Amino acid sequence: MAGFAKDKSGEGRNDDAIYAVAIAMAESGCDRLAVHTNLPTDPDPGTKDLGAWQINERWYPEVHGHDAGIVTAENWQDMGWAARKAYAIGNDGTGRGWASWAAWHLGTYQQYLGQARDAVYRVWQ
């Protein structure tokens, strides 16, 4: 996980890589196969959050429209693909950064910052 985060964050952007890993730990336990089904709320149908970063199919349809307009196991379960998409969302020019994730809003990522920092620094060396 830290290797994928490092590759996507670029040199000198340690904080981005650390946040990416901590968020994935909080969202899915870094499980690339994780699927969370959100219950329907009137008028919205239920949606799914997929992969290590739990990217939601409703809020980020462009992510889920990869390859012929459908999400496949070959793309969202691929850690490199998921890392690229998570970084694209986190750096989409809106200024939200990682605030697009529930783990950021709820602060649950914070408990993983130490582990994430250690993992990223190990990869960076």
**Residue 35 bridge partners (DSSP):** 50
Domain parsing of the chain, residue ranges: 2-124
Residue 73 pLDDT level (bands cut at 50, 70, 90): low
89-99: average pLDDT: 77
Average pLDDT for the chain? 79
pLDDT at position 111, please? 98
pLDDT cut 90: percent of the chain above it: 28
Return d(Cα 107, Cα 118) in angstroms, integer.
19
Ramachandran assignment for 118, one of left (phi > 0), alpha (psi -120 to 50 degrees), beta (any other): alpha
Q: Per residue in 8-67, pLDDT tens?
A: 555 555 688 889 999 999 999 999 989 999 888 877 778 888 889 998 876 665 555 544
Q: Does domain 2-124 have CATH number 1.20.20.10?
A: no
**Model's pTM, two decimal places?**
0.79
Reduced to 3 states, what is the DSSP secondary structure of residue 65?
coil
**In Å, how far are 12, 60, 76 from 9, measured between CA atoms?**
8, 20, 19
User: Which of 31-40, 72-81, 85-94, 116-125 has the largest mean confidence?
Assistant: 31-40
Return d(Cα 96, Cα 118) in angstroms, integer.
25
* Sheet of 47-50, strands arranged across: 35-38, 47-50, 55-56
Question: Is 49:36 a contact under the CB 8 Å cutoff?
Answer: yes
Is it the case that residue 124 has pLDDT exceeding 90? no
